[in-house]
Chain A
Amino acid sequence: MTILNLSSVTFRYGNGAGVENLSLTLGPGEMLGLLGHNGAGKTTTIKLMLGLLTPSQGDVTVLGNRPDSADSRKNIGYLPENVRFYPHLTGRESIEYFARLKGVPPAQARRTLETVGLGHAADRKVRTWSKGMMQRLGLAQALLGQPRLLILDEPTVGLDPVATRDLYQRLNELRANGTAVVLCSHVLPGIERYLDNVAILSDGQMVVQGSVPELRRQANLPVQIRVRGLADREAVQRQFSDDIIRQVNAHGLELDVDEHHKLDRLAALLDHHPQDVEVHAPSLEDLYCHFMQQHGGLNP
């Protein structure tokens, strides 16, 4: 069962910008990270997923239907980037308005407001709210009616670390119930463990697509091992001269080793009784930079 499917989708604005030949598939419970610089086509892709734009070529389906059909829309929750609401309405009035538009009972709307931690501010006008509260209201309206596809554009902007963790925990609960999530984000650190798949866009084109481990294999970036408090640093340097090696502090070393040799090297290093060892697999950020550089789309 496919929740979201884009097959060879192309869309061009009048000024030539747009997206070209995008293909994506998302199954129940899966979370896709849509990454890319400003103007890479992330928002255009989202608008195509929502049926707000009609592709000039290719097809978009949500649960097998056109994305702009009422059936699809009832099953989609969408949080726009920099979401904003009617300043003269209170939180409760806002969420109830959107609930009525989606055919969700008002009582359920008020509960949704509680679950995002806005119960205390429900009767205050949105005008007086902070950016983080607005963002949580945006999330609440996206969660209305238990959507089967959640599309979140920069959901963590304005959220503090605790609220961010809450958000991902809530997303995990939803995914356990089969909701698929598309996450657009600039903030890369910390999100890779939540993503099943990553799609990197640049200039409207798909640079690379796959799970994080797949991207690691494809990029073949070295794993970084950092050891500290070595009694005989020269001996270690001699032994591992094949690896790229850097000196850190007085008794520390940093080694770039091939993914396949990671465990061998670690075992051998431990024989030298270091005080501490840190292992860094290439992060999502490293992968992103690598593929963007390869694509020639990253500014120096």
Chain B
Amino acid sequence: MTPLLVIASKELRDSLRNRWLIAATLVFTGLALAITLFGGAASGTVGITNLPATLASLASLTTFLVPLMALMLAYDAIVGEDEQGTLLLLLAYPLNRTTLLLGKYLGHALLLAIAMSAGFAVAALALLGLSDLDASTVLMAFGRFTLASLLLGWVCLALGYLISVYVSEKSTAGGVALGVWFIMVLLFDLILLAVLVATEGHVLSDTLPWLLLANPTDIYRLLSLNDAQGALTGVLALGDGLPRQPLLQWGALLVWGALPLLLALRRFRTRHV
């Protein structure tokens, strides 16, 4: 086994042992099942409503949950090992820093993939079993949804790693990670909305929609609403000003994943241990 896989598999085994994986899988399964079965309760019906509405409600929850889980998984990846005293030892082994960071990232990325795929798959099967929806439509839609959620998770992992290599104390990293989460899921949209309302939409009306791409959770919401067809509400209404190109959204999310990871790798190479 190469050092990369040795490190990745240790992360997997650690989270099997501390039951992170089982807990995360249960959370995703429970959440997806609840939304699928009772998502229509707000509109007065209990039971399966329709596929776009189900995915839209599911997305509104994963928008909060996935970044939080990913950031909490990643924030201490490097600074935690440093504080624990094991980083110095690891770096004296025959592996370079890029391998160490990518190995840990790979392990964490796989963890998110397992937990989300399992959770959403159960929900998709439940939906198929309890409704007469077309199987391929449901699977395709859930597949796209899972992939988008996963990509959002991986983006937030990368942001967590960036935090983890920059700060020198674990507690600081935790605080910064929470701050980043707060900005991503709440503050950013709030500010955009405030600008929109205050200027009655007249200022920067060409630029503002593109600002949505500056927040990975907004890209994710746009992406997951593609299947919901129409109905962009709140700050996402800005998305109407964007070319509705799934490729643009996927691409933006990929950039959001790659860039922090590359920056983290660069910073880690010069970090003193």
Contacts and interface: CB of A to CB of B under 8 A. Distances in A.
Nearest to B93: A101
A100 interface: yes
Contacts of B84: 84, 86
B70 to A, nearest CB: 22
Interface string B250-273: 000000000000000000000011
Q: Which of A47, A50, A53, A101 has the most CB of B within 10 A?
A: A101
Given A80-B88, A84-B85, A84-B86, A97 B10 contact: yes
Category for how many chain A residues contact B: 20 to 34
B6 interface: yes
A50 B92 contact: yes
A82 interface: yes
A299 to B, nearest CB: 28
Contact of A102 (B14, B86, B93, B272): B93
A83 B89 CA distance: 8
Contacts of A101: 3, 6-7, 90, 93-95
Contacts of A53: 272
A88 B17 contact: yes
Nearest to A99: B6
Contacts of A52: 88, 91-92, 273
Contacts of A86: 14, 84, 86
Secondary structure class of chain B's binding surface, majority of residues: helix
Interface in A98-137: 98, 100-103
Interface residues of B, number: 22
Interface stretch (A69-77, A160-168, A179-187, A191-199): A69-77
A53 B269 CA distance: 11
Contact of B14 (A74, A80, A88): A88
Interface in B1-45: 1, 3, 6-7, 10, 14, 17-18
Nearest to A72: B94
B205 interface: no
A101 B99 CA distance: 11
B96 interface: yes
Contacts of B94: 70, 73-74, 101-103
Interface in B81-115: 84-86, 88-96
A78 B92 contact: yes
B89 A80 contact: yes
Nearest to A49: B92
Interface of B: 1, 3, 6-7, 10, 14, 17-18, 84-86, 88-96, 272-273
30 contacts: A13-B272, A47-B273, A50-B91, A52-B88, A52-B91, A52-B92, A53-B272, A68-B96, A73-B92, A73-B94, A76-B92, A80-B85, A80-B89, A80-B92, A82-B85, A83-B85, A83-B89, A84-B84, A84-B85, A85-B86, A86-B14, A86-B86, A88-B14, A88-B17, A88-B18, A101-B6, A101-B94, A101-B95, A102-B93, A102-B94
